[in-house]
Structure 1
Amino acid sequence: MRTGLLCSGSPFPECSPQGGSTATVWKNLNPFWGEEYTLHLPMGFHNLSFYVLDEDTIGHDDAIGKISLSKDFISSHSRGIDSWINLSPVDPNEEVQGEISVELQVVEESHKRVLCCHVIEARDLAPRDTSGTSDPFARVLWNGQVLETAIIKKTRFPRWDELLEFVLEEGTAGETPLIVEVWDWDMVGKNDFLGRVEFSLDALQKAPVKGWYRLLPFTSTEGDAGGKLGALRLRVRLAEDRILPSRYYQPLIDLLVESVMCPSEEDVTPLALLEEVCSLESRQDVATKLVKIFLGQGLVLPFLDYVNLREVSRTTDPNTLFRSNSLASKSMEQFMKVVGMPYLHEVLKAIINRIFEEKKYVELDPCKIEPSRTRRISFKSSLSEAQIRESSLEVLTGYLGDIVESIVSSTEKCPPIMRVAFKQLHKRVDDHFPEAENQDAKYIAISGFLFLRFFAPAILTPKLFNLRDQHADTQTSRTLLLLAKAVQSIGNLGLQLGHGKEQWMEPLHPFILSSIGQVKEFLDWLINVDCENGASEKKPWTLFHPSATIKEGYLNKRKAEGLHLVSRFTFKKRYFWLSNESLSYSKSPEWQVRTSIPVQQICAVERVDENAFQQSHMMQITTRENGGQLSTMYIQCKNVNELNQWLSAIRKVMVSNDCLLPFCHPGAFRGSRWTCCLQTDRAVRGCSRTHSAVTLGDWSDPLDPDTEAQMVYRQLLLGRDKLRCIKESQFSTD
């Protein structure tokens, strides 16, 4: 069995713009993902659903089960949810989404009362056909009577505009509800349920109603499956924030900057207070936001120097330096992930790919050696335990040699801003621990971050650092674990060798010890960098200059409209670059001629229905040209995660544009009509609302200072009682 997890912030995941999917774990009934997603959902969302799927090479993936958490349930857990939850069956009658527009009223006609039901249209319905659409019709039920609209073929945005009427007899019970249902018509088999809305006749007799109403599922009579489908361990935390305009956060930004540029001798600064009040669970989030705030201010180096100096000054034993999850250690860790991911990929990706492809069996622990797997080592006969360990040692030292060589020869590849940060850290530690017996402290301070918190975790779980699209199988995971342990020991400069419980790692000790000299020499070269204009200058160290590339890669761009080619021939592979200024593309990264679209002209970036071009993972970018005319470009990504990342990145750089569109067409204009709403007017207003929220958060996201400042403000707000106590204690001391 090959299992994957998909999470969604709307009732049906396949067409929700707010979702993400994990890697597939192959042939495993007890999969481990360990993946984290940040979904930016609208304030009015109702449910967060998790679907466990069995991936099929041919046809649709099979749903194993799901977990659906209501917004109220998540909100009731202020510290978040962290537990095993049983999977429930996936009932098609519950998998509904979208809204319906109706107008309902009771009118008097020729001495009779008539219940008038104007069924206007529906939008964002769940796809029930293999084409990615449905054939919807509406059914209105009241007092045992049933009326239906016409069937609109192949659309998720039907417009019926039909009036259905019921005559109300004298003495009709007012408690009888009026029910409006939407169904997908099927020529063969049963029709598929798409959702329903219920109205009170008593309320309708008092006042008419008109508007959009969310479609709801049938009332479920089942709970979970009692664990028969398995269980899923989840960690879910909801943070609700309303992001204000930038000017409201400027005083907070100024206070944070003042902490760095004009630190108090008494060490009572806003940054110091922030560290005091934020919990251990939130410290990583706070560190990430602070790093991005100071990157945006061009002051990330003074910020890191400030928090590192505080950490070093409070440490008496160099062996405990940066070993805790302090604000300094978390800030350095997140700083490397924000600015150093391309560097990490350049150093490790080729080696990691080779390890995955070769799938060699290695094991040093006698308790874990499996002789049945030694066929990958020798086809002649079974090997003894000693021979397996000897062969494994040879393989591991070969991989380690390549890893160490790639790292120590990467000085020029390391981003200059990282090198300057390490140089400042080196000086702070050397000044605080000048004794001869502590000469290694300045090296371990740097290698502890670079090797233990950067290279080793990436080797252990390449998927989480985007080095691989899928998690490793069990055998490869063991190889990566052994290599990560060895890299950690190298980062510790071999000081912990022989003191742990894993004595079976001893065969690798000679290689680890022989690498220490190379690592020290590498670190010396790494910090041999000029700090032009000094670390106190504000502008030279901004990470994202307007023209700096935020995201890049190959995508498939659809050729010009009007071409009558077979669908697969209408897409051409192009290399795209995104910056804060423009979205540009060309035939290849080396191609000199680029087509460029100013970011200020982008009005919307949205997903595209699969049936529009019979292609999946597509997005559309709508721009307004100088003459005011709208133009749409269609782009296909290779998978759903890449699609989410591009949607996120583009939406962030265009968030302040004045020309944003409130509506768009999720389909395409083909064959003289829109594939989504079937309107024949090409210029008609879009039938679906656009989205401004990002879909996923990752280290490569562009800077979003207002969101980051809001998160810091929220932490201060949560810690206001502790801040008050600190203030009162200082006042009493004075």
Structure 2
Amino acid sequence: MFKKHKQEWNPQKQLRSDPEQVKRLTDVLKCRSEHDKAVAKTGWDSYQKELHNTQMLKGLFKKLDPAVMKPIGEVKGEVQLSFKYDFNNEMLLVKIIKCRDLANKDIRGKMSNFYVKLELMPDPLNQGEKKTQVSQGTNCPRFDEIFGFHVAEFALGESRLLVQVCEHSLGGSDDVRGEVIIALNSFSFHESPTFTAWYTLNMETDLSISGDLDVSVAFQTPNTLLVTIHAASNLAPRDRGGAADPFVKIAIPGHDKIHQTRVLKGTLNPVWSETFEFPVHEEEFEDKYIVFHVIDKDRSSSNDSLGQCIVELKHFNPETGLNGTFELADLRNSNRIVTVTCRKARANGKIRIVDGIPIY
């Protein structure tokens, strides 16, 4: 019997014997080479811009198409609160009445178990958090519970109340499903002994952010706005190391340009002294503002926000310019209305800006 010898596969011999396959492979390599050159020519920033635009389009389609499921973790709903101040005992009384239309994380739509917690800021007496009982199996829970905080009358103007609606979890940690921060100086207890209202829930606000940003703004005719980032001070670190690698992004909503300072390593008091230009006409000042976002560069994970501040241009004097220091804060829940004008269509309209993102 003859032994069958196993024939080894030789890729070079196989390609030489199949000219059509060689041609196909050459075409593929050529296309890939042209694609790499195009990406290099366009630049990484342009690629990121296209990717961002694609993500925004996907978000718009989700809004336009009611058949698409809303994202899990969406913040929605309201909480009803009542306030009263006891002048004799210097006691702030807060009644948690009820909530409505809360969103839960269960994609099956199963009703959740919610409770509300309160915290006074600042809290020099260390009174801590106050919590309601957990309401079982409803997205419109009713509590009717009253809590008290000792606050001197003179301190009401500087005090805020943090109200968080939480979803109780038996197997893991509880989730904050929305919050509202109420400034107590908004109440006139001498004129009205009690105040009751519904409050719309927002995303969580990072109250640990601190520090200031030193900037200046000048105008150069006919249409150049010069924005200088001088320095930041007393930034709050985001990691356990106690340091940061900060940089600043500068944007004017409605303009394509987004500038960025260089990254300074290992400092909570960075000094940049960098100037950037924006094409802005003087007649646009009334509806424009500058957003400054201080960011901690993190190579191992996503970047961390160190705070934002906003400079309104409607109060800007182009002759004298502006030079000032602005307190940093978490502005994710800030809502703004801006006017957008289309000269070709001879029309204008208003859109809401949430965290620098247009909501149509």
Q: TM-score range by the shorter chain?
A: 0.3 to 0.5
Larger fraction in helix: 1
Q: So what's the TM-score if we normalise by structure 2?
A: 0.42
The higher relative CO (CA closer than 8 Å, separation ≥ 6) is in 1
Larger fraction in strand: 2
When Rg is computed on C-alpha atoms for both structures, the one with the higher figure is 1
